[in-house]
Amino acid sequence: MSPAKKTATRSKRGKRPLRIGISCYAHFGGSGVVASELGRELARRGFEVHFIASRLPFRLRGFESNIYLHESQPAYYPVFEEAPVSLALAAKMVEVTENYKLDVLHVHYAMPFATSAVLAKQILLPSQLGLVTTLHGTDITAVGAEPSFFSVTQFSIRSSDRVTAVSRFLQERAEATFAIRKPIEVIYNFIDTEVFSPRKRGRLRLADPSTRVLMHASNFRPVKNIPVVIQTFAEVRRRMRAKLVMVGDGPEKAGAEHLARELGVHRDVLFLGNQDLMEELLPLADVFLLPSSSESFGLVALEALSAEVPVVSSNAGGLPEVVEHGVTGFLHDPQHVAGHVSSVLTLLGDERLRRSMGRRGRKVARERFSADEMVARYVQVYESLR
């Protein structure tokens, strides 16, 4: 029996299974994906899970036993110049905790979720509601470090009962930036390796069999270094037949389309927009590109590894904790276009190397980032608050 399932079984034999509230962003993004997958895994292990969010998180595609959704929607009044989203979220957290006797609130992303949860916990005193905050990245490196939000973010982290981070890089950055003295436990992101798996290429195709496929997926923000993706592909395309598949949407998309036209490769770049079923697309790629200037973990890189797709990425942030240079992919400085190009050409020119790296990547995904281990560790954090 897996560690996580053993933990759930012990809870059932002793005290009743925990009732856990999870709050996260519902739109595309790594923090919402991890929160959704964690909630699903907890529910399958017998825990009662209550999502408190603006809408159903996009990774929860269908009905799941033991999962409940409570939508948080701010009221609109003429006196408000902007809807008080954080206050509405805190009020919904209070309501759900009281109505369903929650034991733990687990919030993903410091702003606004931890801040709202701290307020909710104060309102609920003397209730012994546990508060767990998971730090995911830009809540620390960008939003939280913004001077206007710094003190609120620091207070919210310090006021949480337990704090976790998705990489050692993020743990160290949070401790240094916000002078956090309490322990921050590193619990890596995880994926279902049975969902993200290699597949035989059937009717679904992105290019003809003689054309190599490079892929990138992100929220197209400046930190994702989209111009380097396009520049790298343009250099590869000059040397061989290839297509670049761009999955996602965001502020950098228009600039990417313009750059592709400027470099004369626009007919070989496919912009697919946001896609729910990444597990269907990733196995169609030969190489995955992720040259981010900052990346606290790189969940999509792990998904690619699980699908046996080698990753060529930057060496920024937490990516070296996911991708091992020369073993499961290649790492370069974010702006080192020539390095990215060289590694892509090496992989596309050596099928044996590409396949062996892919197999090693899947092995790492299964052994180091398994759902059973990470879920068990989260459950241990919850149980420590009882």
Look at 105-114, 144-153, 256-265 and tell me which has the smallest mean pLDDT. Answer: 144-153
- Is residue 257 very low, low, confident or very high in pLDDT (cuts 50, 70, 90)? very high
Residue 317's pLDDT is what? 94
User: What pLDDT was estimated at residue 28?
Assistant: 63
Reduced to 3 DSSP states, what percent helix, strand and coil does the chain have, rounded to the nearest 5?
45, 20, 35
Contacts of 7 (CB under 8 A, 6+ apart): 45, 376, 379, 380, 383
Confidence band of 166 (pLDDT split at 50, 70, 90):
very high
Polymer length of the chain = 386
Q: Is the model more confident about 133 or about 210?
A: 133
| Mean pLDDT, residues 44-58 taken together | 91
Give me the helix-helix angle, 147-159 and 115-124, nearest 10°: 40
Predicted TM-score of the model (pTM): 0.89
pLDDT band at 11 (very low <50, low <70, confident <90, very high): very low
Higher pLDDT: 350 or 148? It is 350
- Give the separation between CA 343 and CA 346, rounded to whole angstroms: 5
Q: How confident is the model at residue 253 (pLDDT cuts 50, 70, 90)?
A: very high
Average pLDDT over residues 209-223: 94
Domains located in the chain, CATH noted = 12-190+370-383 (3.40.50.2000), 212-368 (3.40.50.2000)
Mean pLDDT confidence for 248-255: 95
| 10 pLDDT higher than 60 | no
What pLDDT was estimated at residue 254?
A: 97
Closest CA to 233 of 368, 341, 115: 341
Burial bucket for residue 130 (CB in 10 Å: 0-12, 13-18, 19+) = buried
* CA–CA separation, 80 and 78 (whole Å): 5
- Pairing of β 269-273 and β 184-186: unpaired
pLDDT of residue 73: 86
Q: What average pLDDT does the segment 117-136 reach?
A: 94
pLDDT at position 220, please? 95
Q: For 100-104, 126-130, 146-150, 250-254, which range has the lowest pLDDT when averaged over its residues?
A: 146-150
Cα separation, 327 vs 7, in Å, equals 34
Q: CA–CA distance from 182 to each of 175, 223, 331, 375 (Å)? A: 9, 29, 32, 22
Is the torsion defined by CA of 318, 365, 37, 94 positive or negative? Answer: negative
Using CA atoms, how far apart are residues 229 and 226, in angstroms rounded to an integer? Answer: 5
pLDDT the model gives residue 138:
76
Task: Please determine, for residue 303, whether its predicted confidence score (pLDDT) is greater than 80.
Answer: yes
Q: What pLDDT, in 10s, does the model give residues 226-245?
A: 999 999 999 999 999 999 99
The pLDDT score that the predictor gives to residue 12 is 46
Closest CA to 93 of 153, 43, 53, 42: 53
Confidence band (pLDDT; 50, 70, 90) for 302?
Answer: very high
pLDDT at 119: 97
- Mean pLDDT over residues 206-223, rounded? 92
What gap in Å lies between CA 67 and CA 370, rounded to an integer?
22
Average pLDDT, the chain: 91
Tell me if the bond preceding 3 is cis, omega within 30° of 0. no
**Is residue 339 within 8 Å of 332, Cβ to Cβ?**
yes
Does position 280 have pLDDT exceeding 70, yes or no?
yes
pLDDT over 70 (residue 354): yes
Q: Are 30 and 317 in contact (CB under 8 A)?
A: no
Question: What residues does 67 pair with on adjacent strands?
Answer: 49
Measured CA to CA, the distance from residue 66 to residue 19 in angstroms comes to: 10
Closest-CA residue to 290 (of 215, 364, 358): 215
201: three-class secondary structure by DSSP: coil
Strand segments, DSSP code E, in the chain are: 19-23, 48-53, 67-71, 104-108, 130-135, 162-165, 184-186, 212-218, 242-248, 269-273, 287-290, 311-314, 329-332
The mean per-residue pLDDT over the stretch 77-83 comes to: 73
Provide the terminal-to-terminal Cα distance of the chain, rounded to the nearest Å: 24
Burial group, residue 235, by CB count within 10 angstroms (0-12, 13-18, 19+): middle
pLDDT at 8: 52
